[in-house]
Structure 1
Amino acid sequence: MPTAGRLAAATAFFIYGWYIALAASPFFLEGIAPGYLIPLSIGIAVLCGWMVVGSRAGRGYVAAVGHGLTGAFAYSLWMIFLMSFEDMIARSLRRLYDGPMEALVGVFDLMLQLGNDLFDINLILSVAIGGIVCALFAEYFAKRYP
């Protein structure tokens, strides 16, 4: 059911996803991010805002900090997984894997590799602090417009 908290969280996470995609762009090979990075980031961020943070909005500002960190973690995990999955599909179409099981295991290897490539303290702080700010924004609207 749509609520003010869910709408505020989805809106805040829309901006959050766009910002994080732009902040993560220099960490890719040769500084060129994949073309699908910004739309995927915005879509995943809006879903995490609506489903993870927005559904829990209205429980207090202290809880909102935890909800923001949960939303940021869910966003990060889904982004790394989906980008690795897309890379695995591209590699499997070039027949770099011997079978489907090797390709499925390859997703997790690619996740570790991508996570290692994106491991930067500034990016991690941007993701965490942005998630907290978005959750506090959603909490404000959930309390103000129940």
Structure 2
Amino acid sequence: MPTGAKLAGGFLFFAVAYLAAMQAKLTFPPETSATYFNITIAAIGFWQGWMVMGNRAGAGVSRALSNGMRTGAQIAFFGLSLFALRTMFMRSADLRYDDPGEAVTATMELFLEYFLQSLTPGVWGVLLVGGLIGGFLTELAAKAWR
């Protein structure tokens, strides 16, 4: 059921994820084409803000702050997973893997490679500090729209 907290969480974490995606694009090699990267990560942010932060709002400020950081971390997890799977499927279409086990292993390696690439103060600063701010503002929205 839609609530003010879910809507606020969705839009706030859409913005946090979009800003984090802009920071992440700075770590890409120059020849990388990332046409829909920002909006895809922002959509994950909206989904996590609605489902995670919005559902847990109203339990107090300390829980809101921790849930905000959790939401930021989950945006990173799902974004990294999605793009690792995407790269694996693109490579498998070129017949680069001999069996499904090799493709799964490659997906885990890609996830780890992308995670290490994302370990910059810009990306994680936006996700964690933005998560704190988004969590606090979602908590305020939950109290305002009861």
Same fold (TM over 0.5): yes
Distance 1:31 1:115, change over 3 A: farther
Distance 1:42 1:122, change over 3 A: closer
Whole-angstrom CA distance in 1 between matches of 2:62 and 2:85? 35
What corresponds to 1:7 in structure 2? 7
Whole-angstrom CA distance in 2 between matches of 1:78 and 1:33? 20
Unaligned runs of 5+ in 1: none
Unaligned runs of 5+ in 2: none
What corresponds to 1:131 in structure 2? 131
Cα deviation for residue 101 of structure 1 reads: 1.6
What corresponds to 1:103 in structure 2? 103
The one-letter amino acid paired with 1:85 is L
Cα deviation for residue 39 of structure 1 reads: 1.9
Paired residue secondary structure (1:27): coil
Whole-angstrom CA distance in 2 between matches of 1:118 and 1:137? 26
**Runs (4+) off by over 2 Å:** none
Whole-angstrom CA distance in 1 between matches of 2:70 and 2:56? 11
The one-letter amino acid paired with 1:28 is F
State the Cα deviation string for residues 71-109 of structure 1 (Å, max 9, x = none). 011111000000100000011111111111211121110
State the Cα deviation string for residues 5-26 of structure 1 (Å, max 9, x = none). 1010001112112211111111
* TM-score, with length taken from structure 1: 0.95
What corresponds to 2:29 in structure 1? 29
**After superposition, where does 1:1-146 map in structure 2 within 5 Å?**
1-30=1-30, 32=32, 34-146=34-146
Paired residue secondary structure (1:9): helix
Paired residue secondary structure (1:49): helix
CA RMSD of aligned residues (A): 1.2
State the Cα deviation string for residues 24-59 of structure 1 (Å, max 9, x = none). 111011274522211211110000000010000011
Cα deviation for residue 122 of structure 1 reads: 2.9
Asked if 2 retains the 8 angstrom alpha-carbon contact of 1:25 and 1:32, the reply is: no
Paired residue secondary structure (2:59): coil
Percent identical across equivalent pairs? 27
Distance 1:76 1:17, change over 3 A: same
Distance 1:138 1:118, change over 3 A: same
